[in-house]
């Protein structure tokens, strides 16, 4: 009887250990989980943008307001919060894994080029909304849009498959505390967060419609 109780207690202890271990792992990888989730969200926006570029390609009038809202979000949230968070993680990762140096340099460089091309594309769209006639050839609008979508998708895939995996495997609790201290001041997500900012309410509805169609 006592022997079986001992076995039972050991089993509970072992399970508790596994549970505690998993909880610790979850806490450590929390920021990477959030960044991966943001990638999923960004890809939804890129699909919406792609669909508008398809309209443009066919000669139909795209929803310029929707495209502008998407690019406003990407330049005001992704470029100013998501990318700096990643860079804070990657700088600590570099202390643990010097072989990540060339990937980090490549990814950080892409943050600049994607940010710059996104800001230019957003400006073009805002000018159209503000009444500037769409006198440019359609491909001059479509090309930067398609390039932006393709580059950002490829960029996120690289992070998901390489640097995020390294960060999940190599960074310890102390590293994550250091990272948390660097990123805690960052603003919350104005579209996919707990509170949707007024200016994104229409975009939020469009995302809801897209989800309904695909389910």
Q: Considering the complex, state which of residue 31 and residue 86 has its C-beta at the smaller distance from Fe ion.
A: 86
Which residues have CB under 8 Å from 89's CB, separation 6+? 31, 32, 35, 163, 167, 171, 179
Joined tokens for residue 69: 């809202």
Say how far apart CA 203 and CA 191 lie, in whole Å: 8
* Nearest residue to 107 via CA among 159, 147, 146: 159
With CB under 5 A as the contact rule, the residue among 31, 69, 86, 189 that binds Fe ion is 86
Size of the site for Fe ion (CB under 5 A): 2
Cβ density class 155-189: b for 16+ within 10 Å, e for less: bbeebeeebbebbeeebeeebbebbeeeeeeeeeb
CB of 88 to Fe ion, least distance (A): 12
Q: Considering the complex, state which of residue 128 and residue 192 has its C-beta at the smaller distance from Fe ion.
A: 192
Q: Which stretch binds Fe ion (CB under 5 A): 5-13, 45-53, 94-102, 154-162?
A: 154-162
Q: Considering the complex, state which of residue 159 and residue 189 has its C-beta at the smaller distance from Fe ion.
A: 159
Q: Considering the complex, state which of residue 36 and residue 146 has its C-beta at the smaller distance from Fe ion.
A: 36
Q: Which stretch binds Fe ion (CB under 5 A): 3-11, 124-132, 152-160, 198-206?
A: 152-160
CB of 80 to Fe ion, least distance (A): 12
CB of 167 to Fe ion, least distance (A): 12
* Residue 163 near residue 93 (C-beta atoms within 8 A): yes
Q: Which residues bind Fe ion (CB under 5 A)?
A: 86, 159
């Amino acid at each position: 009887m006592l022997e079986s109780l001992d076995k039972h207690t050991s089993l509970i202890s072992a399970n508790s250990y596994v549970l505690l271990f998993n909880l610790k792992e979850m806490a450590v990888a929390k920021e990477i989980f959030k960044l991966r989730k943001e990638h999923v969200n960004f890809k939804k926006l890129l699909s919406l943008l792609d669909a508008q570029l398809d309209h443009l390609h066919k000669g139909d009038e795209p929803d310029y307001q929707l495209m502008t809202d998407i690019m406003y979000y990407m330049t005001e949230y992704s470029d100013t919060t998501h990318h700096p968070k990643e860079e804070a993680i990657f700088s600590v990762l570099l202390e643990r894994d010097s072989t990540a140096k060339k990937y980090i340099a490549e990814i950080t460089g892409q943050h600049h080029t994607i940010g710059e091309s996104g800001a230019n594309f957003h400006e073009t769209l805002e000018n159209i909304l503000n009444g500037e006639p769409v006198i440019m050839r359609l491909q001059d609008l479509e090309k930067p849009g398609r390039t932006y979508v393709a580059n950002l998708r490829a960029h996120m895939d690289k992070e998901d498959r390489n640097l995020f995996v390294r960060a999940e495997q190599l960074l310890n609790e102390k590293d994550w505390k250091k990272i948390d201290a660097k990123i805690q001041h960052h603003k919350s997500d104005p579209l996919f967060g707990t509170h949707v900012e007024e200016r994104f309410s229409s975009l939020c509805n469009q995302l809801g419609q897209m989800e309904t169609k695909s389910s």
